[in-house]
Structures are given as C-alpha cells and as structure tokens.
A and B are shown apart, each in its own frame.
Chain A
Amino acid sequence: MPTDQPTQTEDEIFDAEFLDRLRALFLRLRKRKQLKKKGIQSTPASGFTREFKDYRNYTAKDDYRAIDWRLYARLDRLFIRLYEEIQEFHVHIVVDTSASMAEPFADKRITSLKLAVALSYMGLVGNHRVSLYEIGEQVGDPPPPLKGLGNLQRVLDFARNLEFGGITDLEKCFREFQPSRRRYGIIFVISDLYGKSVDEAKEAIHHASGWPGEVHFIQVHHPWEEKPDLDGEIELIDVETQEQRRLWFTPRDRKRYEARYQEFIHDIEYACQSRQIDYQRWRTDYPFDELFLDLLSRGSALSSGS
C-alpha cells in the first residue's frame, strides 16, 4: 500500500558513510576490472587519444583504413593495428524529478538520488566530465559539467536541491535532451518511465537511440507498483495529475494488473534491446550495492575508465 514512508533525510543519504561505501564500491569495481582485463578489450565508444596495443590479422569485416600498409609492404600480409583507447568522456546523468518519483513511495526518490550521486562519483573518480540533468515536464537547465573528485560536494548539493513534483512528459524530454557531439559519453537515465500512457515510454525511447554515447536506462520502481496490495472499493489518485479513479478491485483485477505491468516492463526492455540501449530494473527493496555493481559490470565504459 503506498504510503509516504518516513525515510532517511537528505543529510543522512549523503553522509560520510555513504561516501565511504562509494569508495569501497569503486575499489571493488576496479579489482573486478583488473581480473577481467586479459587480451583484447574493445569498446564501442571512441576516445580522444589512442595508444597502440597490438596487431591482428585483417578480416573482411574490418575497416580497410585500419590496415597497416607498412607492415604489408614488409611482410606481404594484411594486418590491422589495435589501439587501447584512453577515454575522456562525459557522463550525463538524467534524473526524473516528476511527482511519481517521490510519491507515494519516497524510496524511489532516495534511490534515484543515491544512484545519481554514485554514478557521479564514479565519473569524477574516473576524471570524466559529469553533467547532471533533471527532467519532468521538460528538461531542466543543467549545471556546468564537473570534473575531478573535488566537485563531489557540488554534486551532492545538486542532488540535495532537486525538487520533485509535476508531471512527466517522456516524449518531450527525450526529444529535447540532445547533448552535443562534443560531449560524447555515457548517458544514464534514472526514471520510473511512467508516462501519460502505457506506451509513451516505449515510444519515447527511440529518441535515445540518437543520443551521442552509451545509453543506460535505469527504471526505478517500488515493489508495490509491481504487485499492488489493493482489494475492494478504492479511489485512486494519480500523484502527478491528481486524476481520480474509482474501482472495485478484485483479485482477478490484481492478476490482470500484474500481467499488464510485466508487459509494460518487457516492452521497454525490448525497445531498449532493439536499439542497443542498456536497460536495468531497479527495485527499491533490492540491495543498492549489488544492483550498482551489476549495472557497472554490464560492459559500461564507466567501469573501464581510470
């Protein structure tokens, strides 16, 4: 049952303990990365500087421009040069600040803020440029990109000052959100993806395929939203639109609701996969650390930085 559960205050969220956990998380991530770092490791992202790493036989699928003609002249065989990218890219963190992210489940708000801070921390530690955005009815004006761990306090201030409310217009926000090519990097969208209709999110996602960089959709939702504990006569109020709806909710309706919700999630997941967009569900009752490690272990460029 949705309630405004008293949760931790913002100061409690961004306390020293949380930052210590982030550092520990970062160390764990780096160790995991080193263990996996064997042989060729490529990334679809391109960087600004490149260092030679190795040669490899040319295949028909390779770009002929990468052929080392000097080596061909000497050995009479086609090789291509492999480079290890030294990436310095932007980390764009988009936080949904609509009312549905704060009410009736404050956990969603806390989770999304913690996630935004953690990703920012990762970006700052990796010496990337971190940009923070808020979306609701429209995309909010972002502060200047931040670089270096010294800007962590500014990240925390930004998160602390975010105001949740209003409606979500996914279509409009995703259309308007267009980072310049110069700010190529990783884009994290933290949202519950609830729009004005069930299919709005699915249709809005196609705008993300044009974004410059690696896109991650993190859908934050509360377990109650997946399995609502409702029965009998109820009057529902949409926290964003204040629209009311009176229903006689039966167990059969509950099953139909759950099926519809799962269909909604699968639609989004399929829409992301078909556009090579990473998608992760983030239930607020699951352990934050585990989910975060999962997120970064899924081939994110962020995890391979530093």
Chain B
Amino acid sequence: MQFLSPSFLYLLLLGIIPVMLYLFRRKSKTVNVSTLVFFKTLAREHQESAWLRRLKKWLSFLLTAIVLVAAVIALARMVLSGRDNGDFRTVVILLDRSASMAVENEEGETRLAEAKRILYERLKDIPEEVGVALIAYDDRPEIVQPRTLKRRELISRLESVRIRPIADKAGAALESAKSIASLEPPAVIWHASDSVFDRDANPDSLELRELNLALDEVSNPGITAFQIRPVTMEYSQYDAYVQVSLNEAAPAPIKGRLNVNIGGMPSQFREFELDPGEDSGFTFKVGGSQNQMLRLELNCEDDDFPLDNQVLVPLPDSSPVLAAWIRPDETEDPFTRFALSAIQEDGNLELLKGTPDAWPLSEPVDAVIFDGWLPDEWPENMPVVVINPPGSLGPVLAAQLEDPVPYDSVRVGNEQHPVLFRVTSSRVAVTATAVFQTEGSLEPLWIAGNEPVLAAGEYKGQRVVVMGFSPGISEQLPLTSAFPLLVGNSLLWCIDGNGDRAGNSVSQYSAGEFVPVDGESITWSEWRDGEMREQRIPLKSNLVEMDRIGVWKTDSGNKGTSHLLSAAESNISAKSEEADSDAEYFKVKEGVAGNLKNILLAVILLVLIVESLLFHRFAVY
C-alpha cells in the first residue's frame, strides 16, 4: 500500500469535526406543551425506540466518517499495487519522437500516442514528491521539461511532443538523461521507444526501464538511399540511384513497385521483390528540365510505415562542365588541344586555358588539367588530371625521364575502368616521358614495360588521373581516337566523383540537419494526401532545421531537399520478449490491485446514496 499524495492525509484531521459533533451533539429535549394539536399538523410522528435512535445516530456518524476517510484516501491516492516504484526521487522520461514512432497499430494508434497514454497512466502511480523530467529525442535530444513536481505542467508538455520525420540517435539522448538523473539521485530513466538500449552496453548503475512500443509484427519496405546527378556532357539527362529495403523483422517477403514521376506525370516504374532484411538498388536515367519535380513513390501492399516511401527532389541544374587546362606556353601540345577541342564541340565542356601564372584560379572549376606542369601546392578541392608530370606533388610521385622511352604497346591493368571506356588499348604505342609510383589508391591502367604510364584513383576523396607520357611524341596515340576518348573519360570520371561540382546546386540533406541559409523566408513544398502543398515560413535565424520531408527554397535563392533516407530508421524492429522485460513495470493497473480512486469514489457515492435514502426517504433523524 502506498499513498501517492500523502500530504492530503492531513485532511484526516477534519475527522475531528464529525467526532466532536457526534460527542457533543444536541441531545433530544423534552418539552411540555399545552397542546399538541398544532404540532401534529407539521410532520408525521416518529415514534422509535431508544436503541433504534441510538443506532441511527451511530449509523449517521459511521457513514459520515466513511465518506470523509474515503475522500481523503482518494485525494491521497492510495494504491495497493505490488508495483515496485523503487525509492527514487527523480524520473527522467526519455521519449522517442523519431519518424518510426509514427507506425500505427491495428487501432490506428501511433507508437508515440501509445507511449503518451501509457506514460500518462503510469505517472499517476508515481508519488507526487518525485520529480519528473521529460526529454524528447530524434537525432538529438531536447529537454522538453526539466525536473518538476508539477504534474499538470508535465502532462501538458508530454502532450505537446509531436512525431518528427527524423531518424533517431538515442545515444546522446541517453547521456542527457543520465546528466539530468544525476542531479537529483536516486533516479530512474524511462525509455519510451520502439527500440531498446543494449543493456550490456550501458552497464551503469542507473536504473533504466524500457517501455518498448514496438509492434509484435511489423513490415516496412522503404527507400533508404537516393542519388541523382546530371549526366555529364548530356543535356537534361540525369542518372538516379535508388535503394529500397525491407526491415529485418518483416514477417514475410514482399513485392512492391517503385513509381517514378517527373513534373507530376508518371515516367517509369520498377517492380521488385524483397526478403526480410534485404535491400535492392535501382539505377535509372530520367530526362527533364531543371527544377522539374522528381517524385519517387514506393507502393507495397503490406507497409506499416509510410514516411520512408517517398522521395521528392527537383531536377538539378545541368550546367556544362567547366575545366581548366594549365600548361606552360612552350609545352602546349597540339594533340592535347585537339582532343579537348573535340569534346568542346558538343557544348558540354567549357575549357579555360592558362599558363602557370593563372594559378591559383580566380573562379571554381569542375576539374583541372596540369599538362607538363605542377603547382607548388596540391589542390585538394577539385579533381585533377596530370599529363606528363614534371615532378612529384601530392599523390603524384613522379620524375621526368631525361630520354623519353617509346613503347610499342601497353598492357592494360583494369580494362573495366571507366577511364578506359571504349579506348582501344591494343593499338596504342606511347613514349613515356616520366615515371611515377602508383602507391596508395592509384590504380595502374596502362603499363609500358614495367612502369605504369596511366593510372587513376582517389586521393583523400579526390579523383586523380596521371598520364606519364607526352601525346606529341607518342607516335601511335595522338592520331587515333583513343586519346580524345582517354582525355574525355578522364575528365568525366574525375567530375563524376565530385558531387559538389559547380552547377549542381540542389543540395540534399537528411531530415534533422541544420542548414545555413539567408533570406527572409523559406518555402517548403511537401507531397501530402496526393497533392503538393506549399507553406511559407518566416526565417528566424540563418540556420534552418530540416524538420520535415520535402523541398525547400528561400527567397534569397537557397534551395534543397530534405529526406529521411535512413536505413536504420526504416529497419523497424518488432517486439521481442527479451526487449519487453519491463512490460509489467509499465502495465497500467486499476481496481483493487492499483489505483483505488475509482473504487473510493464509488464508495463515497454509495454512502451518500444510502445517507440520502435514510435521511430523506426514511426520515431518519
């Protein structure tokens, strides 16, 4: 037995009043009167024996005492539960408000709504002197309510928590909860989520109770990855990549369909079949003008979580590739210039030519070609094609040969490499002018003799192509189609690896990120209920949180998209017995085993009815 509001027990002192009234009650007076005839007209007579009158007075006193005691106990919130509330002074509620909490059960109740309901009931069983704090988290924690004794305030704050379409990161939230819990120990943390913490990974002495809200069975196919980019050198063509996954806890394989819409019109679709825990990637090419809206929609029969079924993105700008060709005047190779001119003819390449004096460049470019020259400092923020390196710099460890060495043929290191796409290496004869090492991530593509003459690879996330020959003195190379192809492929491959290249200005963000913007307002476009909806919101600061899924644009021209795209969030887990070990702890108990309020109120009501019957219906005085 426990009193959750023991301060009300002082009201039992009010019992003194009926006791005193009973002890010092006005005794029945005997009055002689001249005649009774006038009194007989007032009320009917009550002739009762003394013991019956005494019994009735006792009964009246007893009923009054019962009403008083029952009311006080109800106010003091007595519970008879066997629940172990522990001996703690603080409860820290750690409430998951991430996207996965939007999963609904058969009654249409979301995980968050169920969490609120259970927590609301469970809080009733917490003594009022125990402080409660509320932390809601998605990808970061927010202290919604610091430790408070005011339950109404807490309930109000609890009600205000809303689901945000953001993947959760519970680790930081748990640390915050521990910090708050440590302020007023002993404390207990209630973690309300559809996933539980690994207890082995949190061996702290802190008491952690898991309110596991996961469903017994849940199936969720969702889009977990997406990428789109303009096809280099192809106007209004875009390559897109989509990955769809099925959560591991799904009870059965599913069949689904991925619809692709451009500008509101269906464009193409892909059908797929996934086993639980499996993912599948799709690559497809779409055409459209820039800023047209591309919408991907996943349709599956058995899907409990719709938030990850959609991707909305405007087609990015497809501006021409901008490359810089830096070479000393005396080493300008006409064949290299010819190859670059051939690519330029399509209009998809803009070439800036310059001497070493132009370095560093005054404007950003998508790639740079160092031809027979290297700067003093390696450029780390752009892809680089190095032709005939004069020395070593950055990832290029090379040395010029005093006497160029002609080779009749080259061996191919990796003919599947994109740089060698459609290049007929078998007819090529090159004259090596430099030797270089292919250590690290550089991969030799052509090997002449024992030395590599062409290598490509990534260096600190930056794509690099190195050619250790000079086209001008390589007899069977410049006049064949292999060299322009090689130069073009090198540029394309380098630029493809640079997602942030100039011109591709639509930025994609994960929901929950903070994005720096400028301007007065931001306009969000969201696909809801089968139509595109726009909402304009004034900007309060230069940082905007991606707290919804959709496309945004500021009045100053910043724009971007916000996606859930989280493999972890989409991999919704089902409830397991092991993870539901605290089910009894959070079970709402009513009646004799739990909160007695309703029973006591019923008793009070019953007693009042009995009193009413006795004193009014049967006129018991």
Contacts and interface: CB of A to CB of B under 8 A. Distances in A.
Interface stretch (A137-145, A181-189, A231-239): A231-239
B42 interface: yes
Interface string A222-259: 10010010101111111111011111110001001100
A115 B38 CA distance: 26
Contacts of B26: 232-233
A169 interface: no
A180 interface: no
A248 B56 CA distance: 14
Interface in B14-54: 26, 28-43, 45-48
B36 A245 contact: yes
Most buried by B among A230, A237, A247: A247
Contact of B41 (A103, A222, A240, A260): A260
Contact of A245 (B28, B29, B39, B621): B39
Contact of A196 (B29, B30, B37): B37
A247 B43 contact: yes
Interface residues of A, number: 40
A196 B45 CA distance: 17
A100 interface: yes
Nearest to B35: A194
B29 A240 contact: no
B321 to A, nearest CB: 103
Interface in B242-297: none
Majority SS at the chain B contact face: loop
A243 B36 CA distance: 8
A265 B40 CA distance: 17
Contacts of B39: 236, 245, 247, 257
A19 interface: no
A219 B370 CA distance: 141
A260 to B, nearest CB: 5
A23 B108 CA distance: 107
Given A198-B41, A246-B47, A257-B39, A234 B34 contact: no
Interface in B87-132: none
B56 to A, nearest CB: 11
Interface in B54-103: none
A197 interface: yes
Contacts of A241: 36
B620 to A, nearest CB: 10
Contacts of A195: 35, 37
Contacts of A232: 26, 29
Contact of B42 (A1, A237, A253): A253
Contacts of B35: 100, 192, 194-195, 238, 240
Contacts of B45: 245-247
Contacts of B31: 1-2, 104, 230, 234-237
A105 interface: yes
A58 interface: no
A234 B621 CA distance: 11
A103 B169 CA distance: 96
Contacts of A103: 32, 34
A177 interface: no
B42 A105 contact: no
A26 interface: no
Contacts of B46: 246-248
Contacts of A14: none
A264 interface: yes
A195 B40 CA distance: 13
B37 A233 contact: no
Given A245-B45, A247-B42, A247-B43, A237 B32 contact: yes
A261 interface: yes
Contacts of A239: 32-34
A204 B535 CA distance: 98
A203 B344 CA distance: 137
A235 B29 contact: yes
Interface in B374-408: none
Contact of B38 (A108, A240, A260): A260
Interface in A64-118: 100, 103-105, 108
Contacts of A256: 41-42
Nearest to B33: A236
Nearest to B57: A233
A198 B37 contact: yes
The listed residue with most A CB atoms (<10 A of its CB), out of B33, B42, B46, is B33
Given A248-B621, A253-B43, A233 B28 contact: yes
Nearest to A103: B32
A253 B38 CA distance: 11
Interface string A31-56: 00000000000000000000000000
A197 B40 CA distance: 10
B118 to A, nearest CB: 53
B22 to A, nearest CB: 14
Contact of A246 (B28, B38, B40): B28
Contacts of A228: 33
B37 A104 contact: no
Contacts of A108: 34
Contacts of A236: 30-33, 36, 39
B38 A233 contact: no
A262 to B, nearest CB: 11
B29 A234 contact: yes
A257 B33 contact: no
A137 to B, nearest CB: 15
Contacts of B38: 198, 257, 260-261, 264
A253 B40 CA distance: 11
A246 B48 contact: yes
Report, nearest first, the 10 A-B pairs whose CB atoms are least far apart: A100-B34, A194-B35, A104-B32, A238-B36, A233-B28, A248-B621, A235-B30, A198-B37, A234-B29, A246-B46
Given A108-B34, A236-B36, A256-B41, 13 more contacts: A104-B32, A104-B33, A197-B37, A233-B28, A235-B28, A238-B33, A238-B35, A240-B35, A246-B28, A246-B48, A248-B46, A257-B39, A260-B42
25 contacts: A2-B32, A103-B32, A103-B34, A104-B32, A104-B33, A108-B34, A192-B34, A194-B35, A195-B35, A233-B28, A234-B30, A235-B31, A236-B31, A236-B32, A238-B35, A239-B34, A240-B35, A241-B36, A245-B36, A245-B40, A246-B28, A247-B42, A247-B46, A248-B46, A248-B621
